[in-house]
């Protein structure tokens, strides 16, 4: 069955069928080390403040390194990879140090870098430096992450790495460097298109190759891993046979008119293009070729073609656009066989007001997105530059805000106040529910959706975003799991800025008068304080809602799969509706910390 996705402004990632999930039910994905520092567990827990300490739950699914004197080793994958996408979760213990090597040669640093304002190449997500042997030993290159997106020890973090192996000619001479196409840490892009001139420090070899193993550093500190997903992209990409063109001149209403005409131009080219004559309108192209597919399976094709157009692949029409206009990009998922696949496009362009463009891309089970058109045939008309707002000084900014979770919008906050800090920790306050709905690390806001063209009034966080409960903060004792907002019970009285431009929100709920202020503590986490005059005895404050809430200390709780901590005194955990909630009484003063 064909799956069709419409893409206008943003690329939508989709999973093709070469992705391999490593279940970690045993250690067969890795070579034997002869040491016992690498262990399997059902779960792992690290204390926020105790150095290099993990507590394990017996079972499988989580890989943990517990090095000790005389018992430490790096871990090598049994299989070797060239071009590859890999993602995994990891957890650092306090003050711990590890690293993940592509091809055993190019290290992405894993480190407890929680709270570091200006990260270096040695911090979490950094591409480690190269070494030049001495004496003296010289370090050079290395790339620091754009922002510090690292979470606190004991929390599960997520990283996505897209790697391109170095290229060699027929004589084995390197003709292009290895490249980190993109690295995302906890949802924040920290590297893009970084060329690596050679192996980083601590590599298995200074000699570069087409393929090599994953290597996880195991001789430094304790670290845990889970949810490895690997996509081997070692195939050569799909390509076209010579492309046969028949060009017709005239004003055509439909493709059926072409059969009665003789082509004005017949030509062969090695790539797709609309530009075959001096005519920029009043023409039609009939394009025929063979698409060479390296491996059978699900393929993702994208195309952006101006004018009317009709596409046939493997003898079947997969898309028809009968309207002549500046059409947006479209995307299909198609099951294609290996080998030569018939490929045809008919493009009709008669309206001078419509731009000229023909772009076509394909990615497959084992190769990355590849353009099949000539460079001049496709020139994007959409803006490529974001309009951003920084917080080099404390900043308060009003906008709509779409609260996202797992790539989906769960709520649009129409009365959002975004509070930014030069320490690169920010939050969004929902005035309709007296609640902090998201916090993030990194840069402040992408305001392109608000200010580009007509705009839609919204902005987006820049950086590693943590989505909190979108429900109302105050609720009744019997309605802890209700999703209702506060509605007419809430009266917003505004907010005031202190001498450091930090806002205090003032509002009333059912006769209770509340001052609500959130500040940064040690440039690492938020502390929220509510001073409540005439508190309602029927109210509780709903600090968190999640799939699970685990008490880890006298006043510390792990929230929603170890995504973040809350520190608070006098809280209780309520259970209901397949969820848990952390609540405290709405007393004269409520104070808690959000640590992530």
CATH, residue 180? 2.60.120.560
State the pLDDT at residue 8.
Answer: 35
Q: Is the pTM of this model over 0.75?
A: yes
Q: 359 and 427: one domain?
A: no
3 state SS of 257: helix
- How large a percentage of the chain has pLDDT more than 90? 79
Domain, as residue range, for 342 = 237-377
Closest CA to 391 of 419, 421, 417: 421
Find the mean pLDDT for residues 525-533.
98
pLDDT in tens, 552-575: 989 999 999 999 999 999 999 999
Q: 477 and 397: one domain?
A: yes
Q: Tell whether 12 is covered by a domain.
A: no
Q: Tell whether 382 is covered by a domain.
A: no
* Cβ-contact 62, 225 below 8 angstroms: yes
State the pLDDT at residue 323.
Answer: 87
> Cis ω on the peptide bond leading into residue 51 (within 30° of 0)?
no
Domain end among 377, 411, 432: 377
Pairing of strands 308-313, 316-321: antiparallel
Domain end among 232, 266, 285: 232
Q: What 8-state DSSP symbol labels residue 450?
A: H
State the pLDDT at residue 234.
Answer: 86
Tell me how far apart the alpha carbons of residues 149 and 116 are, in angstroms, rounded to a whole number.
Answer: 9
Domain end among 198, 232, 266: 232
200 C-beta neighbours (distance < 10 Å), count? 25
| pLDDT at residue 381 tops 80 | no
Q: Tell whether 2 is covered by a domain.
A: no
pLDDT in tens, 260-319: 899 999 999 999 999 888 888 899 999 999 999 999 999 999 999 999 999 999 999 999
Give 14's pLDDT tier (boundaries 50, 70, 90). very low
* Cβ-contact 153, 562 below 8 angstroms: no
pLDDT in tens, 476-508: 888 898 877 777 789 999 999 999 999 999 999
Q: Tell whether 7 is covered by a domain.
A: no
Q: 153 and 169: one domain?
A: yes
3 state SS of 449: helix
Q: 172 and 247: one domain?
A: no
Q: 142 and 253: one domain?
A: no
Q: Supply the DSSP string of 470-508, one letter for each residue.
A: -S-SEEETT-TT-----GGGEEEEEEEE-TT--EEEEEE
* Cβ-contact 482, 461 below 8 angstroms: no
Q: 52 and 97: one domain?
A: yes
Q: 453 and 538: one domain?
A: yes
State the pLDDT at residue 384.
Answer: 54
pLDDT in tens, 215-246: 999 998 999 999 999 999 988 899 999 999 99
Tell me how far apart the alpha carbons of residues 408 and 390 are, in angstroms, rounded to a whole number.
Answer: 25
Q: 67 and 169: one domain?
A: yes
| Burial grade of 593 (CB within 10 A; 0-12, 13-18, 19 or more) | middle
Q: 181 and 264: one domain?
A: no
Q: 515 and 565: one domain?
A: yes
pLDDT in tens, 115-168: 999 999 999 999 999 988 778 878 899 999 999 999 999 999 999 999 999 999
The DSSP element (H or E) to which 312 belongs, if any, is strand 308-313
- The number of domains in the chain is 3
Tell me how far apart the alpha carbons of residues 159 and 184 are, in angstroms, rounded to a whole number.
Answer: 6
Q: Tell whether 536 is covered by a domain.
A: yes
Query: In Å, what is the CA distance from 283 to each residue of 216, 257, 466?
Result: 57, 12, 52
Q: Tell whether 4 is covered by a domain.
A: no
Q: Tell whether 316 is covered by a domain.
A: yes
Tell me how far apart the alpha carbons of residues 73 and 76 are, in angstroms, rounded to a whole number.
Answer: 10
Q: Tell whether 309 is covered by a domain.
A: yes
Q: 298 and 334: one domain?
A: yes
Q: What 8-state DSSP symbol labels residue 66?
A: -
Tell me how far apart the alpha carbons of residues 187 and 149 are, in angstroms, rounded to a whole number.
Answer: 8
Query: In Å, what is the CA distance from 357 to each residue of 252, 379, 472?
Result: 18, 7, 49
Closest CA to 263 of 358, 378, 346: 346
> Average per-residue pLDDT in the chain?
92
pLDDT in tens, 77-108: 999 999 999 999 999 999 999 999 999 999 99
pLDDT in tens, 383-407: 457 899 999 999 999 999 999 988 8
Whichever domain contains 527, its CATH number is 2.70.98
Q: 210 and 62: one domain?
A: yes
State the pLDDT at residue 485.
Answer: 74
């Amino acid at each position: 069955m064909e799956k069709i996705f419409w893409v206008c402004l943003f690329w939508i990632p989709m999973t093709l069928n070469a992705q391999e999930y490593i279940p970690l039910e045993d250690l067969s994905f890795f070579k034997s080390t002869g040491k016992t520092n690498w262990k399997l567990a059902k779960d792992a827990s690290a204390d926020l403040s105790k150095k290099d300490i993990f507590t394990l739950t017996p079972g499988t699914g989580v890989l943990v390194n517990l090095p000790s004197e005389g018992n430490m080793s790096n871990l090598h994958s049994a299989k070797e990879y060239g071009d590859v996408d890999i993602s995994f979760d990891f957890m650092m213990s306090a003050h711990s140090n590890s690293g993940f090597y592509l091809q055993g040669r190019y290290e992405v640093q894993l480190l407890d870098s929680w709270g570091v304002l200006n990260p270096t190449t040695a911090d979490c997500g950094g591409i480690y430096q190269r070494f030049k042997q001495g004496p003296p030993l010289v370090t050079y290159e290395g790339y620091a992450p754009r922002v510090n997106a690292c979470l606190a020890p004991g929390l599960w973090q997520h990283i996505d790495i897209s790697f391109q192996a170095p290229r060699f000619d027929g004589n084995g001479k390197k003709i292009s460097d290895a490249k980190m196409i993109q690295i995302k840490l906890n949802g924040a892009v920290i590297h893009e298109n970084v060329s690596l001139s050679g192996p980083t420090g601590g590599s298995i070899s200074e000699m570069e190759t087409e393929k090599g193993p994953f290597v996880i550093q195991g001789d430094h500190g304790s670290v845990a891993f889970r949810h490895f997903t690997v996509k081997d992209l070692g195939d050569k990409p799909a390509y076209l046979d010579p492309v046969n063109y028949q060009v017709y001149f005239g004003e055509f209403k439909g493709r059926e008119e072409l059969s009665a005409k003789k082509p004005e131009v017949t030509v062969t080219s090695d790539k797709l293009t609309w530009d075959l004559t001096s005519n920029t309108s009043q023409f039609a192209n009939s394009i025929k070729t063979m698409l060479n597919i390296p491996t059978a399976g699900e393929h993702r094709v994208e195309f952006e073609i101006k004018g009317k157009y009709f596409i046939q692949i493997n003898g079947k029409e997969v898309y028809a656009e009968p309207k002549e206009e500046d059409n947006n990009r479209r995307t299909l998922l198609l099951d294609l066989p290996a080998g030569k696949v018939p490929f045809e496009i008919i493009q009709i362009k008669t309206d001078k007001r419509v731009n000229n463009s023909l772009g076509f891309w394909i990615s497959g089970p084992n190769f990355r997105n590849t353009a099949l058109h000539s460079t001049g045939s496709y020139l994007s008309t959409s803006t490529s530059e974001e309009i951003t707002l920084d917080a080099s000084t404390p900043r308060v900014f009003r906008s709509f805000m779409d609260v996202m979770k797992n790539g989906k919008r769960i709520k649009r906050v129409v009365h959002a106040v975004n509070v930014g800090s030069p320490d690169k920790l920010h939050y969004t306050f929902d005035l309709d529910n007296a609640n902090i709905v998201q916090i993030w690390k990194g840069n402040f806001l992408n305001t392109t959706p608000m200010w580009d063209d007509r705009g839609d009034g919204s902005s987006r966080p820049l950086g590693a975003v943590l989505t909190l409960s979108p429900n109302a903060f105050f609720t009744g004792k019997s309605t802890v799991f209700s999703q209702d907002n506060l509605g007419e019970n809430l009266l917003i009285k505004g907010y005031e800025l202190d001498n450091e431009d930090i806002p205090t929100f003032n509002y009333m709920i059912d006769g209770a008068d509340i001052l609500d202020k959130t500040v940064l503590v040690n440039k690492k986490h938020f502390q929220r304080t509510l001073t409540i005059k005439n508190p309602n005895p029927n109210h509780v404050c709903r600090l968190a809602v999640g799939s699970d809430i685990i008490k880890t200390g006298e006043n510390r709780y792990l929230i929603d799969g170890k995504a973040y901590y809350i520190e608070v005194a006098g809280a209780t955990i309520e259970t209901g509706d397949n969820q848990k909630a952390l609540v405290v009484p709405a007393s004269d003063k409520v104070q808690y910390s959000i640590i992530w």
